[in-house]
A = this chain, B = another copy of it.
Amino acid sequence: MNTGTDHIIKSYDTELSRLTAEIVRMGELSVKQLEAAIDVVERRDERAAQRVVDNDDTIDQMEHDISHDVVRLLALRAPMAGDLRNVFAALRTAADIERIGDYAANVAKRSIPLSMVAPVQPARGLEHLARLAATGVREVLAAYQERDAERAHAVWKNDTVLDEAYTGYFRQLLTYMMEDPRNITPCTHLLFMAKNIERIGDHATNIAENVWFQVTGEPLQSQRRKLDQTSSADFSGLAGSGDKPARP
């Protein structure tokens, strides 16, 4: 009977390793999608943008298959309490990566109408945000693969850099819109694209929380509350109509 149990435990571990590898592969695909999305924004290439949008189906399907595998693994193997953290982290992380893929596809989708209007200067600012986000996702995938809580924590703390860059870019876009009404439509797309990238950073921090919980058994999220400053700050000063100071 002991060999039977060993066999079950071993195949459970094998399954979990396979799942982890599949999740990391899915994560790498999502980063490539983000990089491809930014590339099509710069090249103003509609067809390539559509390919990025279509590729998102692959990520969605991977997430679907992974969730099914996780549920089946749980049902068949009945893993021990300690292992449940791994299973839980796998489910959550796959869901976060799926969202990252969605946001990358959204950036590509918005690049299509953006390519139809005259190029606007602030479109370049998007690349900087995307690079920060891509680095965060790559780092947290490495942390997930290596079960490295400290490395995950570093990604989690570092998301403030992306948040600040996003807030600065948001302000910049508003000033362009106020300067010239013809900038309003393209800058509106850029606002949403920037927001998508900022959300990718949030999902990288979610994955960092998953890794932290998986490794330590303790929650990480209580230590810092995420804030998109543009959603609570008052930019009315920029409109020349502000009688209240901008909130910190």
Contacts from A to B (Cβ < 8 Å): 67-68, 71-72, 74-76, 78-81, 84, 87-88, 91-92, 95, 106, 109-110, 112-113, 116-118, 174, 177-178, 181-182, 184-186, 188-189, 191-192, 195, 231-236, 238-242, 244, 247
Contact = CB atoms under 8 A, between A and B. Distances in A.
B231 A110 contact: yes
A85 B182 CA distance: 51
B113 A234 contact: yes
Per DSSP, are chain A's interface residues mostly helix, strand or loop, or mixed?
helix
B78 A75 contact: yes
A63 to B, nearest CB: 11
Nearest to A106: B231
Given A106-B231, A188-B188, 12 more contacts: A75-B81, A95-B95, A109-B231, A110-B232, A113-B234, A113-B235, A117-B234, A118-B241, A174-B184, A184-B239, A185-B238, A185-B239
Copies of the polypeptide in the assembly: 2
A72 B75 CA distance: 10
B236 A117 contact: yes
A184 B192 contact: no
B174 A241 contact: no
A81 to B, nearest CB: 8
A112 B113 CA distance: 31
List the 9 closest A-B pairs by CB distance, nearest first. Answer: A74-B74, A113-B234, A178-B181, A117-B236, A116-B234, A182-B241, A185-B235, A185-B239, A182-B239
A84 B75 contact: yes
